[in-house]
Structure 1
């Protein structure tokens, strides 16, 4: 299944896409696609005749899940991205987090504060947890995954690398995590380690890669995270980015107001996000 949410911020309608690509309103079955409803989401829709549910016209797409409790991220998870960053491949996954308030829709604008000087892009595979996981074995990990989505792990590199402390400062500004357009259930993604991905800025390709070059695959990431934290339904995991980020270019290139970022992950849809002044976009 492909889940999506359509409508203005805070008033999105939960939907599922039918076989003809039409969004169908499932709010009579579940109030939203959220951490509270995700544990029983597929059960709630079992046996439903999607063709009899109300069609929802095209409109703004929200993130396919309502604000997750946690957004977990994996750093330097592609060896060639680690190389362009001038860092060694990590002996264990690098863990950090983003604020849940950074999650936004796939066409919502990236907000650039006047204080930002090194605003960067990162196309990533997003993993959505379907049921709680704590200290699980690697072979059990994918059983805890509801599905997958496309993510842009937007980063302000100056805040991330030059202000001391942890990376979260450069990762958590509002709209720094465009997500979607869809949440595609795991049964429709038979191999999450075989998905192509790409990202362009103003029509120029910057990133082109595949999840098959991840240092640590999805199953290991879910297993590894569960050794340290309780993964909860609706948690979003951003699994790392291939090479081609602005920070790694010579000379570096960064986003500015007026730019447009487009990205896609195979089978999970695409995004198109403009960069706007934070003062005007909030």
Structure 2
């Protein structure tokens, strides 16, 4: 299938405004074999970008909305500065696209909207926007408290938040625990003794001593509730030691015997409620 090629200049607005109304010209149709065919005649599709709530300016926590007038949207792609896509879906007969996830604070989003008019002509609009900084931030503390810590086989990993977390599902989806020896586990929410929100990861079975693991909280831009967002990702590497009891604390409890000689040594630590938090078993009750 062969057709004479034609050139098409994508629409580029002269200046960015808070309510990004994009007039999309009729584009070129890609034919078989990757050759572009001539555009069909017809009125251009007008595309507008704003918040799902109806406002033109998009704030942190809003859902993005892309609308088409005089045709339909065939594809909408929204990516942040790290290349991660903001998921969403088409609706209202193809004239509306809405993101399923909320926009993060202080984040640049690039938007590509592809359209088709009633005569079959296709077009595309490209635009970007940057959301405002969040009014409030949430931060957290990882436990064990230092990179490379030696952790007992049954000891939970903890994240303690400085402010309440009301959207726990959104936070939990961005948490992960991995190790060079696969171990299943689960998350449990609780309060620490100061009343702060805390989430613990407990292994279904005790880790094998010598295992190297990583706790990752990819929370940059995630909404935690109460008007607050996270502005960082968090990582903590750890090594699993052998089981310890209180009677072991004065001996070699802090050593991990992976091979000969001993590869990792860490001091013992005592934590809240007189429990072993640096190394050794976690005793509930």
Q: Same fold (TM over 0.5)?
A: no
Instruction: Return the index of the structure with the highest Cα Rg.
Output: 2
Q: TM-score, normalised by structure 2?
A: 0.23
More strand, by proportion: 2
